[in-house]
Structure formats: C-alpha cells, structure tokens
Structure 1
Amino acid sequence: MGFEEKIAEYAPKLEALQGKLAADGVEFIAIHTVDTSGAFRSKIAPLKLSTSGEAINAILYCVTHGDGQPMGDVAFASACANDENGFPNIKGIIDPATVVQHGWKPKFASAMTRAFMLDGSPCPYDPRSVLAKVEERIDALGYEARFALEYEFGIFHADHDLMRAGRYRELKPWGHSLVNYDLVRTGDYQDFAAEFVTRMKSIGIGVASLVTEYGFGMYEYALTPKTPLEAADAAMRAKLHLRELCAERGLVATFMTRFQPPGKESACGAHHHVSLWRDGKPAFPAGPNRLAPVAEKFLAGMLNRMQETHLLFRPTVNSYRRFDRGAWSPEDVAWGFENRTAPIRVITTPGDAACRFEHRAPGADVNPYLSIAAMLAAGCEGIEKGLALEAPVTSDLAGLDKPKLPRTLSASIDAFARSEFCADAFGEAFRDNYAESRRAEQAAFEAWQAAHITDFEWQRYFVN
C-alpha cells in the first residue's frame, strides 16, 4: 500500500485521536522513527497528528551505530541518502495504532511512523515496514504469531563528566551485590521496579517481571506476548522509558551486550519467546516434550536459516563477546526441550498456553523489528515448504558436531549479504543497505584498533 492509500486509511483515525488526546489534556507529542540500528530517532512537538504526513530525514537509514563515537563517522554509503541525491527528506505517516498518552506524564503522548519514499512507495529501509511485510506472510498462512521479549541490561550511577570523557568502565554499578532474584540489592530497587511496571501498564505494555540478574549492576525485565509488530514496538518503548526512568533518578542504563570482561558475570541477552495461535488457541502444543506438526515445521525453518540471519541477532562488534555456550549464550545451530545451551529452547510445560520457543541467540543490542522478522520469515518458510525437523539435542552440545553460528561480525555480514533468502524475505534493497551498515560498524572498529596501541602490547613488549 502506497503513501496516498495509507493517508486515506489513517486520516480519520488520526483526526479522532487528535480530538481525544486534546480533550484528555495532552499538549505535546514525541514522534519516533526507528533507524537501521534499532534506535528511536525522536522529535517533540506541540500536539498535532498530521493527516498529510510527516517529513523523515532519509539519513536515519544510513547513520552509523554510534553517531560518530569514537571515530567521527556519521553516515555510511547508502542508496537512500548520499551526495548524489542531496540527503533528502522522505515521507512518513504516524501509525494511529501506536499513539498513546503517557500515564506518568499526561501532558505527553507519543507515536511511531511508517516511512515512504518520495514517489509514494513504501520505504524499503524502514524496519517497521520490513516486519509488517513479514507479519502479513504468517497471517496469510492462517496463524497469529506472538512474541515476548526479555531484556538483560546494566544500570550504573550516572557521572556525566566520566561519560562525556568516554570513561564508561569507571561508572559504579547500581547495587551492592551480584545476586540473582534479590529484592534488597538497593533500598530503592522495589520502588524503581514498581514505577517501571506502572508506567508501562499506562501505555499498554505488560511487564511479566523485573529481576536482578547475576552480576554487579545487572537486571532483567520480561515483557508479555504481543503480535509481531506490537511486540517490537513494545520492546522499543520499554527500553526508552527504562532509560528515562534511570535518568530521572541519577542513573544510566546500558543494553550493551557485554560490559564485563568475557567469562566474568553475565552478558546481556534479549531472549525472544515465540508461539503461533489459531482461532484463539495455541498451535504449537502436543503434550509434554512433544510438538504439533506446524510447530515442527516452523522450528525447522528457523534452524535452517539461522546462520544467514545471524547478523540480525548479533549486529555489533560487542555482540560476539557474548558467545559462551557454558554461560547459556548459544554457539551452535540446534534445539532441545528445556535446553538453555541451545539457541532454541523448546518449552512445553506447564500447559498448552505456555508452549513456545525461546530463541536465545539475540543480544540486548538487537533491532527487535529485524530479529523478530528473521525468526518469523524463516518459520514461515518452514511451514510453506513442509521442512522436516531434526532430533532434539539430549546431550552436551560441546561434544556434538552441530553446525556453528558465525563467530565474528564479518562472518555474519558475509552470510547475510549473500543470502537469497534474506533478499526475498526482507527485500534486496534492505538486505544490501543493512549489510553496508554492518560493514561500516566493522570498519569503524578496525580503524579505532589501528589508531591505538593496546594494553596487551604495552605490557608484553615495552620491557622485553
């Protein structure tokens, strides 16, 4: 559906929402656009839900992951915005399904956009549009997909002088212990958790739990299931508003996948819980440690495409420091019932409604629209082609000859960039643009390394 058709569909809904929000006391709106790396790019404006569209700077789809830190790189080479086309604005529309008033700050509402090119065609680089297209595919098969994401993350006491200087490793973690499931890590932890849950509830996001994780400053929240696009929207909003709550309290949150040295304490995953439903009933279960045929085909599809979609689960240089089968961060292409060392843990208890797949490969640095789209597209292919499922893992994966996930960002980029499946599922323009964004990420890291003498070199070679 093109820009004009979407305007015609959305305009009456936006007009009605404008009147309701104004009547409810809303004065300002934060308008969010999701960039390629999975960050919100936002502007605050007086309340106005435009029925003629929004301007979106196309550079949001070719900005580097860290906006220039620490290398000064801002944009990578992209077909969507470059010297030749003058870095144009493209068109956007506020999605009325995403408009919410903030219960904790009722003068504010927020909304998300869908992007379109200047000729009115859907923007092929927009992560929300990529996922929406894949969601239509599972709907056409007669199923409703549901996803629930759980994020591990760090909280530190904010020191803005240290942060401005890039000295993040000197920040002090929030809390005095590294114990799992601890209610008294700090005196204000329970109040913090209650406030976060309450805020999310006010904008329609369910928080199943918030817990302390293993490690100083480590925490985790789990969100309740939603349909794919809704689940990604909820994941983005929860991260944003968690960071806002931290900032209000003199804290800072990080979703960097590993901020402790490898082998020490936990890393930050973003496990995705996946299920299919039909006619209001779960489609996966067939009893304890058994799966229905559609579940087997969906799972076989996810396994079949896991290596070439791996880049969408581990998209940064830091993602690969989280690899550790022994710490339940998967390294292989495999599955098992209740097996946390495999990338897909199948859960069939305590009842049918709980039957789901837990995909454990993604880290907290993912773009949730893309990680969900990858799982869903691969699962759809498994159903469409009737793929057969291999036997579950029942012994230590370290001793089995299972296919391995790419161990480096470069290897994941190569697998993704040459994948015809990814071109078909997400669009060739998106595949190529995303691969280029990750090449820019790898190049920035290599340039930084080349410009610095490491501690290893000083300590190993200076005297000897």
Structure 2
Amino acid sequence: MLAHEERERRAARAEEMLDGLREAGVVGVVLPWVDTSGVTRVKSVPLAKLPSAAAWGVGMSPVFDAFLFDDSIVAGRFAGSAVGDLRLHPDLDRLTVLAGQPGWAWAPVDRYDQDGQPHVQDSRLLLRRVVDELAADGLSVQAAFEIEWAVGVAGSDDFVPGLTGPAYGMARHVAVSDYARDLLTALAAQGVAVDQFHPEYAAGQLELSVAAEDPVAAADTTVLVRHTIKAVSARHGLRASFSPKVLADGVGNGGHVHLSLWRDGENLMSGGKGTFGLTPDGEAFIAGLLTHLPGLLAVGAPTVASYLRLIPSHWAGAFACWGLENREAAIRFVTGPSGRRQAAANVEVKSVDQAANPYLLMAGLLATGRAGLASLATLPDPVGVDPATLSDEGRREAGVRELPTSLDEAVRAFERDDVLARVYGEELAATVVDVRRGEIAALEGKSAEDVAAALRWVH
C-alpha cells in the first residue's frame, strides 16, 4: 500500500526534477502502460502536474484490462466493467526526456486502486514481484528484447514499404541512413544502450538489439524503444509496424527474448559440466521454459496473426525443442564467443512476438524457469537440425513437439498449466483467456490477408 510518507517522498522528488525538465524543454509527461492485448495505452500530464501524479496518481478506468485490438471491450469475468477507477503512478526512476518527441518526457506507470493497493491485474507490478521472488532464492536474471519492425509509407492503411533493397543489404542500409541516424541519436540521448542495428529480411523490415538489463528495466526499455521508433518514423513520413505479420505472405516481426540466470555474480548458463557448459541450475531454468512454452504462447504470441508467423522453416521457432545456435528451435542456446562466455551465454526464446505485453511475458518466462529450478528439471537432447526436416517419427524419438498452431490451441494449453495459473493469479489469468477468446471471435472466418490488415498498425 502507498503510505502517506511514500506519497510525500514521491511528490518531493518530482518537485526537485521540474527545473531540469523545464530546461530540457519538457512541457508534458507521457504515462504509458501496456494492456492485456499488448497495446500500449497512454495518458499524459502537463509538467507542473508531475508532483501530483507522482503522489496521487492519474485516474484511469480498469476497463482497459479488457480492451481488444480494435478497441472493443470484452465482458470478462473480472474485467470490462464501466465501474471503478485506478490511479496511474509514474516511476520517477525511469523518467526519460524523449529525444524523438521533443517537448515530452516519458515515465512508465504502476497501477494502484483508490486506496493505494496494487491493482491485481497490473503487469508491471506482477513482474517486479516475480523478480523479487527470484531474488529471495539468491538468483537474478539479465534480459533483453530484440525489436523488429517494418516501416511503411505514411498515409495509407495498406503497407507500402518505406525502403527497398536486399535483405541485410547495404542498399537498404543506405536508403534508411538518415532515419536510422536520427533513431540511434534519439535512443542514445534517452540512455538506451543499443548493441546492433541492421536491415532485416522482410520488405521494409529493420531490427535493433539492446543491452541486457534486469527484467523490469528490459520490459520498460522495449516499450520506450518502440515509442521512439514510432515518433522518429512519423517525423520521417513513415509508419512503423511491430505486428507479427504485416503482410499475410511476408516474413513476420518477432520479439525474441534473451535471458541469462545469475547467482553471486556467476552466469549459470556457462562454466558448468553440462551440455554446452550449462550448470545444473542453468539447465533446469531452460527446461522449465521449454516445458511450459505451449501455454506461455497465449501471452507471448497473443494474437490470431501470431500464428501466421509461427510456422516451420521461417526462423520463428515453431517446435518445442532447444539447440545450440539453432534458429529453428523454439529455444536457441547461445554460448557467445570463446573467451567471453561467462558474460555472454544466454538463451533466446524465439517463438514470441511484439504483440505481447512485455511485462506479462517476462513474468511468465521467469516463473516457468523458476518452476524448472524447483523441480530439478532436465533438458532433452539438443536438436541440431531444422525440426521440420525430420519425420513425425523422428521428432517423436527426439522428443520434439510442435507448438500450438492457433491462438485457440495456445489458450487451451494456458488453461491447463498450473504454474501459469499460479503466477498470474485467478483474475489476471481469466482476463488473459477472456481477451484472447474475444480476439478469436472478432476475427473468426477472416482470411489471412484480412487478419494481417486488421492487426497491421495496432502494435
């Protein structure tokens, strides 16, 4: 609960920040949160109101927990009512002056009720709780989201690529040079540590990766980076799409998550006697992810369009298996270069995309990894080929399962998963199911092209 003393501390700190923010030209502060459908929603306040927002929050209906991609509202079991109110409290530790959107600052919010109690369906507070539970076990995680997007010409809901040239090609990099310069400059000014940027495979597609952080910071960063990409794109006459399938017959945008598990300054993904240098704890954590991945897709691949992307032989990770540097495995193990493996070894979860609420997804990943630790889980043998090239019998012998091929199948796996039910809790888990089934109903009978068009500009 937010006590009176805590409210006073927050207000005083915000007051101390005002002069510096004014000098930076800030006139307003954007207050974002991510809903159950993975859509980032915002309110904003004039700069002078920041101390009040920090102490008392900004009012917002809890109905957004039940919003769908098209802004219709599901009448869910625990969400969707017009009754009630929440308070959006900005996290001043993460307040950032937006270089890509001059005049504005940005601060992710935690949602509390009118009595100062944490909102039971707030995904950011949930993630912080799961991180604390790992810390109580003496463990921490370093995490990062890869960000893929496609840029189209603004002014149309159709997708007309905003740049051309070969995949990963210099021609495409040159074509996007000014835009990329402005984007990287803005991100650097905002304190985002970008590791790599390159033109990707699909039409108009780009990708950047950022440095690993603690899980809450990693989720915040991916929301901030996407906000910045949208803003810089608009200033260049472009429109950015993070949809898992911008064009029905094209290559989709992934949202791969990188994770490494640590104890006492040691990376448990390296230096052990197990396969590829895994420690027993590192192996158990990965095994937990792999075991629960089918149900996790209801959170990590949360739209009907996600399953247009999640198909074999497209580097999307359509099979529940793991392997060393295997881009067709759902979980790709990365050792890093020789001589740097203690710092670099991690796993990449490939089956997820950027329609996911990053806080919900990260909480589920950490909780299922922790469940693997608790059960001393072990991994099957790694897979060193594209699983799609194996026969059905070959996949059975290798212990390779096909992941859900539809959102409905993923939701049913989610409902059967006791670990996921515990981490999300009754109300949030029910809302995830209700919202997913609402999207399924809204898009029932639609062609792949219609599904892609419906979700193209949502995320």
Q: 1:24 to 1:259 in 2, by over 3 A?
A: closer
The corresponding residue for 1:231 is 218
Counterpart of 2:26 in 1: which secondary structure? coil
User: Are 1:276 and 2:261 counterparts?
Assistant: yes
Whether contact under 8 Å (2:326, 2:386) holds in the other structure is no
The corresponding residue for 2:153 is 157
User: Are 1:369 and 2:354 counterparts?
Assistant: no
Distance 1:324 1:22 in 2: 49
The corresponding residue for 1:292 is 279
Q: 1:394 to 1:102 in 2, by over 3 A?
A: closer
User: What 5-or-longer segments of structure 2 have no aligned partner?
Assistant: 451-459
Whether contact under 8 Å (2:371, 2:419) holds in the other structure is no
Offset at residue 388 of structure 1 (A)? 2.0
Offset at residue 317 of structure 1 (A)? 0.6
1:267-416 superposed matches below 5 A: 267-286=252-271, 289-350=276-337, 351-352=340-341, 353-398=343-388, 399=390, 400-401=395-396, 402-416=400-414
Deviations 1:325-359 (A, max 9, x none): 21221222111111111111111121221100011
Distance 1:9 1:418 in 2: 44
The corresponding residue for 2:457 is none
The corresponding residue for 1:95 is 91
Whether contact under 8 Å (1:183, 1:190) holds in the other structure is no
Q: 1:251 to 1:3 in 2, by over 3 A?
A: farther
Q: 1:378 to 1:43 in 2, by over 3 A?
A: same
Which of the residues 64, 69, 77 maps onto 1:65?
A: 69
Offset at residue 105 of structure 1 (A)? 5.0
Distance 1:36 1:435 in 2: 10
The corresponding residue for 1:34 is 34
The corresponding residue for 2:161 is 173
Counterpart of 1:373 in 2: which secondary structure? helix
Whether contact under 8 Å (1:3, 1:116) holds in the other structure is no
User: Are 1:111 and 2:107 counterparts?
Assistant: yes
Distance 1:366 1:434 in 2: 11
Runs of 4+ with >6 A deviation = none
Distance 2:9 2:128 in 1: 16
Offset at residue 81 of structure 1 (A)? 4.8
Range moving further from structure 2, 322-331 or 294-303 = 322-331
Which of the residues 115, 124, 132 maps onto 1:136?
A: 132
Whether contact under 8 Å (1:10, 1:95) holds in the other structure is no
Which of the residues 410, 413, 421 maps onto 2:419?
A: 421
Offset at residue 26 of structure 1 (A)? 2.6
Deviations 1:94-134 (A, max 9, x none): 11122112235553211121111234321121121221121
The corresponding residue for 2:230 is 243
Counterpart of 1:44 in 2: which secondary structure? strand
User: What 5-or-longer segments of structure 1 have no aligned partner?
Assistant: 68-73, 453-464
Which of the residues 63, 73, 76 maps onto 1:75?
A: 73
Distance 2:257 2:313 in 1: 20
Offset at residue 255 of structure 1 (A)? 1.1
Q: 1:5 to 1:387 in 2, by over 3 A?
A: farther
Residue type of the alignment partner of 2:15: E
Distance 2:58 2:31 in 1: 9
- Number of residues of Structure 1 aligned to a counterpart in Structure 2: 431
Counterpart of 2:224 in 1: which secondary structure? helix
Whether contact under 8 Å (1:61, 1:125) holds in the other structure is yes
Q: 1:58 to 1:111 in 2, by over 3 A?
A: same
Q: 1:185 to 1:58 in 2, by over 3 A?
A: same
Counterpart of 2:74 in 1: which secondary structure? coil
Whether contact under 8 Å (1:59, 1:80) holds in the other structure is no
Offset at residue 79 of structure 1 (A)? 4.8
Offset at residue 22 of structure 1 (A)? 3.6
Distance 1:390 1:8 in 2: 53
Deviations 1:170-216 (A, max 9, x none): x3212222x23223327551221121111112222122122111122
Deviations 1:389-420 (A, max 9, x none): 22212344232122221111111111213432
Q: TM-score, normalised by structure 2?
A: 0.88
Residue type of the alignment partner of 2:440: Q
The corresponding residue for 1:202 is 189
Residue type of the alignment partner of 2:87: K
The corresponding residue for 1:461 is none
Distance 2:79 2:282 in 1: 41
Distance 1:202 1:296 in 2: 38
Offset at residue 238 of structure 1 (A)? 0.8
Whether contact under 8 Å (1:78, 1:436) holds in the other structure is yes
Q: 1:9 to 1:297 in 2, by over 3 A?
A: farther
Offset at residue 44 of structure 1 (A)? 3.1
Whether contact under 8 Å (1:4, 1:120) holds in the other structure is no
Q: 1:38 to 1:395 in 2, by over 3 A?
A: closer
Deviations 1:439-463 (A, max 9, x none): 11001011767xx9xxxxxxxxxxx
Q: 1:241 to 1:23 in 2, by over 3 A?
A: closer
Q: TM-score, normalised by structure 1?
A: 0.87
Distance 1:253 1:42 in 2: 18
Deviations 1:44-77 (A, max 9, x none): 331022222221221221111122xxxxxx1111
Which structure has more RCO (C-alpha within 8 Å, separation ≥ 6)?
Answer: 2
